[in-house]
Amino acid sequence: MEYTFTLKYQLAADYRESDAIVGQLNEAGCKDALVGIGLPGRLALAFTREAASAEAAVCSALGDVRRAVSSAKLIEAAPDLVGLTDAARVVGLSRRSLRKLMMLYPGSFPAPIHEGSASIWHLADILSWIQSRGNYGLPPEVLEMAEMAMQVNVAKETRRLPPPSTTDLAALIG
C-alpha cells in the first residue's frame, strides 16, 4: 500500500550545506521524499512510501533520516495536528460543514488538544469520529497514517518528560 506523510526536523547548527543533506538523504533511502529546506535550520520530507503498513512506512523513513542526518531532531510527523480547515480538506468537506457537525454533536465530536483562537485536534480523532458516522468513504490508509503520525508525535513528546512522581496523573485526568 502507498502511504503519504511528512516528517519535519530541526537541523543541528553545523548543517549549512543543503545540497549535501539532499545527497545524504538519497543515499540513505529517502528517494521517495520531496525534500524541503525553506527555513534555516529546518528540514521537511514529504514521503510517498510503499509499505505493508503505516507503521512500516513511517518507521523505515525515520530510520532512513536518522542514518542520513543523525543529529536532526524530529519536530513533527504529519498528518496529525490540524485545525478544522485541514481536517475538513482531508475528509472532503468544507470547513463550514465540519464546523456544523462539531456544533450539532458537541458531546461526541472529539475535543481539541488545544483550544483557543485557533483550536487544534489530532486528525486521527476527527477521522475516527467521521468514520463512526458511516456516511463518509475514507480510505483506510488515511486513518491508519493519521493514527501512526499521532503515535510518533505523542511518543516524541513523552520522551521529553521527566519520570512521573508518585501521583497517578492518568487517573486524575481520566
Question: 3-state SS of 44-73?
Answer: EEEEEEECCCHHHHHHHHHHHHHHHCCCCE
**pTM, two decimal places:** 0.88
By residue count, the chain amounts to 174
pLDDT number for residue 15:
65
For the chain, where do the domains classified as CATH 3.30.70.3400 start and end?
Answer: 2-78
pLDDT for 2 equals 95
Q: What is the pLDDT along the chain (174 residues), one digit of tens a residue?
A: 999 999 999 998 766 666 788 899 999 999 999 999 878 889 999 999 999 999 999 999 999 999 999 999 999 999 999 999 999 999 999 999 999 999 999 999 999 999 989 999 999 999 999 999 877 778 889 999 999 999 999 999 988 877 766 667 667 766
Pairing, β 42-50 against β 2-10: antiparallel
Residues 6 or more apart whose CB falls under 8 angstroms from that of 50 comprise 1, 2, 3, 32, 57
> Looking at the domain covering 2-78, what would its CATH class be?
alpha beta
Residue where the block lists cell 506523510: 5
The two beta strands, 2-10 and 33-36, are: unpaired
170: Cβ contacts below 8 Å, ≥ 6 apart: none
Contact 121, 82 (CB under 8 A): yes
- Per-residue model confidence (pLDDT) at position 65: 96
Integer-rounded Cα Rg, in Å, for the chain is 18
The per-residue pLDDT for 58 is: 97
In 3-state terms, what secondary structure has residue 8?
A: strand
3-state secondary structure of 153: helix
Q: Looking at the domain 81-149, which fold is it?
A: Multidrug-efflux Transporter Regulator; Chain: A; Domain 2 (1.10.1660)
Looking at the DSSP bridge assignments, the partners of residue 8 are 44, 76
Q: Which pLDDT score is estimated for 133?
A: 85
Q: Where in the chain is the domain with CATH 1.10.1660?
A: 81-149
Cα–Cα separations (whole angstroms), residue 52 to 3, 7, 33, 56, 59: 9, 19, 18, 6, 12
